[in-house]
Amino acid sequence: MSMFGTEGGGFDMNALLAQAQAMQQQMANAQAELAATTVEGTAGGDLVQVTMTGEGDVTAVVIAPTAIDPEDPETLGDLIVAALRDASTQVKALANAAMPQLPNLPF
C-alpha cells in the first residue's frame, strides 16, 4: 500500500505508521542478530587474535607465546591494535549488511 494510494489522492497516515513499525521490527531483529554474532580479528599471521561481538565488545584476546618479546614490547602493542582494527572492521561490515535499508520517503 502506498502512502499516497488512498482514494482522493490524500496522505495515508496508517500506511506510514505500518511502514515505520515494520522498519522498527527489522532494526530490532538486526540488532539481536549482531549481538549473537562474533568475529575474530588477527594480526601477525595469527600471533594475536581478538574475538569481538557484533556489538563491538571484546570478549577474548589470545597472544601466541612467540609474540612476546621482552626486548620489543612495542611490536606486541602494534599487533594487538592491528587485530582490534581487523575485528572492528568486520563488525562494521556485519552491521552495514544486517541493518535494513531506509525506504525512499516522499519528503
Write down the mean pLDDT value for the chain. Answer: 85
Mean pLDDT, to the nearest integer, of 70-87? 97
- Please report, for residues 24, 72, 75, 82, 83, the alpha-carbon distance to residue 68 in angstroms, rounded to integers and kept in the order given: 47, 8, 9, 16, 15
The C-alpha cell of 85 is what?
582494527
Rounded to a whole number of angstroms, the CA Rg of the chain reads 22
Task: Reply yes or no on whether the pLDDT at 107 is more than 80.
Answer: no
- Please report, for residues 45, 69, 76, 82, the alpha-carbon distance to residue 64 in angstroms, rounded to integers and kept in the order given: 10, 11, 10, 15
Give the whole-angstrom CA distance, residue 4 versus residue 27.
Answer: 25
Mean pLDDT lowest among 36-40, 63-67, 98-102 = 98-102
For the whole model, what pTM was predicted? 0.71
pLDDT, one tens digit per residue, over 13-37 is 888 888 888 888 888 888 888 888 9
